């Protein structure tokens, strides 16, 4: 496969370094295999993929590096203490981040075309290396419901009138299709986050941007989807009816006045409880995952005909009693 982009290395000071690195194109995330960066000292082969020289999150890279200042002793303890090795590693991270920023700035369409191929490595790099995150945080992009790529700043600007400081996201377009349709009907937008490490990544973004919060599209009912009606006298009756039937299958029952009268009810899942379960599963801690319970809320639409009919039938039954 053709390389996505190249990074040329040519340094004379404070160390000598020449080389070329490139990102290979992937067919899909599961195809991830370690790259191969061959390291030389004055054209004398030293080793492949030394993690002290090429940071772990960049080991997808392929290429060749020739560095006379690279020690021939490649034992891990020796490399970790070698000042030149530390400088070389930081320089490579800087060159990669500089290249990404340059492509985004001058060839954004090209940058967007290979984002899906490299996003997992960029996100992993942000999680592992704070300096890398600081260098590329402004060029992190997200695909929205219309297939358009937006930076975080662009998305927030677009949505500030409808849900300021909230980033709604989708991680399974099929399972969340009903919610996607509702969003589109109301001119709301969300981003697609279907990368395997996105749970950790959005936690990082929330930590770095305390005013922002990420919410899965089915975790809450946005105010823009509701009418501004006050609660109805029958709301408690509807709640009790469904609670009696569902018992402990649902954590909470709410009654709302949704603009779309065709929607009978929706289930929302607490963002915090779901993230805790998913992270526990990711770390293989199934016992911990079993300890947490998804906090589900049934949101009933009082404007829906079926709900109105159920309420009428319930009232008639009570009268007959």
**HEC per residue, the chain:** CCEEEEEEEEECCCCCEEEEEEEECCCCHHHCCCCCEEEEECCEEEEECCCCCCCHHHCCCEEEEECCCCCCCCCHHHHHHCHHHHHHHHHHHHHHHHHHHHHHHHCHHHHHHHHHHHHHHHHHHHHHCHHHHHHHHHHCEEEECCCCEEEHHHHHHHHHHHHCCEEEEECCCCCCHHHHHHHHHCCCCCEECCCCCHHHHHHHHHHHCCCCEEEECCCCCCHHHECCCCCCCCHHHHHHHHHHHHHHHCCEEEEECECCCCCCEEEEECHHHHHHHHHHHHCCCHHHHHHCCCCEEEEEECCCHHHHHHHHHHHHHHHHC
Q: How high is the pLDDT of residue 84?
A: 77
Please say whether the beta carbons of 303 and 227 come within 8 A. Answer: yes
Confidence band (pLDDT; 50, 70, 90) for 14?
A: confident
Instruction: Note the pLDDT of residue 30.
Output: 47
Higher-pLDDT residue of 196 and 126 is: 126
Q: What pLDDT does residue 140 have?
A: 97
Extract long-range pairs of 169-172: CB within 8 Å, 24+ residues apart: 169/142, 169/193, 169/198, 169/202, 169/214, 169/215, 169/216, 169/217, 170/145, 170/194, 170/216, 170/217, 171/198, 171/216
The percentage of residues in the chain with a pLDDT greater than 90, rounded to a whole number, is 38
Lowest mean pLDDT among 133-147, 228-242, 243-257: 228-242
CA atoms within 13 A on the CB side of 17: 24
Residue 52: pLDDT band (50, 70, 90) is confident
Q: Write down the pLDDT at residue 321.
A: 55
pLDDT for the residue 201: 95
| Cβ-contact 292, 277 below 8 angstroms | yes
Least confident among 12-21, 45-54, 205-214, 292-301:
45-54
Higher pLDDT, 38 or 148: 148
In this prediction, residue 1 has a pLDDT band, given cuts at 50, 70 and 90, of low
Determine the average pLDDT of the residues in 275-284: 74
Mean pLDDT of 222-235: 76
In percent, the amount of the chain with pLDDT more than 70 equals 87
Residue, of 80 and 237, whose pLDDT is higher: 237
Q: How far is Cα 43 from Cα 307, in angstroms, rounded to an integer?
A: 77
Q: Mean pLDDT, to the nearest integer, of 35-45?
A: 85
């Amino acid at each position: 496969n053709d390389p996505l982009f190249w990074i040329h290395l040519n340094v004379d000071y404070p160390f000598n370094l020449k080389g070329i690195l490139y990102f290979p194109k992937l067919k899909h995330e599961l195809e991830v295999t370690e790259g191969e960066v061959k390291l030389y000292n004055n054209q004398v082969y030293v080793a492949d993929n030394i993690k002290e020289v090429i940071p772990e999150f960049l080991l997808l890279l392929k290429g060749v590096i020739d560095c006379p200042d690279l020690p021939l002793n490649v034992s891990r303890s020796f490399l970790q203490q070698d000042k030149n090795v530390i400088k070389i590693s930081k320089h490579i991270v800087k060159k990669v981040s500089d290249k990404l920023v340059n492509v985004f700035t001058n060839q954004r369409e090209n940058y967007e075309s290979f984002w899906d191929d490299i996003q997992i490595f960029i996100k992993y790099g942000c999680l592992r290396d704070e300096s890398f995150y600081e260098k590329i945080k402004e060029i992190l992009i997200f695909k929205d419901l219309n297939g358009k790529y937006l930076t975080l700043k662009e998305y927030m600007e677009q949505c500030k009138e409808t849900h300021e400081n909230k980033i709604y996201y989708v991680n399974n377009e099929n399972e969340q299709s009903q919610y996607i349709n509702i969003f589109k009907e109301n001119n709301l937008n969300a981003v697609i986050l279907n990368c395997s490490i996105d749970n950790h990544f959005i936690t990082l973004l929330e930590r770095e941007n305390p005013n922002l919060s990420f919410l899965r599209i089915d975790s809450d009912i946005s105010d823009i989807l509701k009418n501004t009606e006050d609660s109805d006298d029958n709301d408690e009756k509807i709640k009790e009816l469904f609670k009696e039937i569902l018992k402990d299958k649902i954590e909470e029952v709410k009654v709302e006045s949704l603009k779309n009268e065709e929607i009978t009810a929706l289930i929302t899942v607490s963002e915090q409880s779901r993230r805790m379960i998913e992270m526990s599963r990711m770390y293989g801690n199934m016992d911990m995952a079993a300890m947490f319970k998804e906090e589900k809320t049934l949101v009933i639409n009082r404007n829906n005909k079926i709900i109105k009919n159920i309420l009428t039938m319930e009232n008639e039954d009570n009268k007959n009693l």
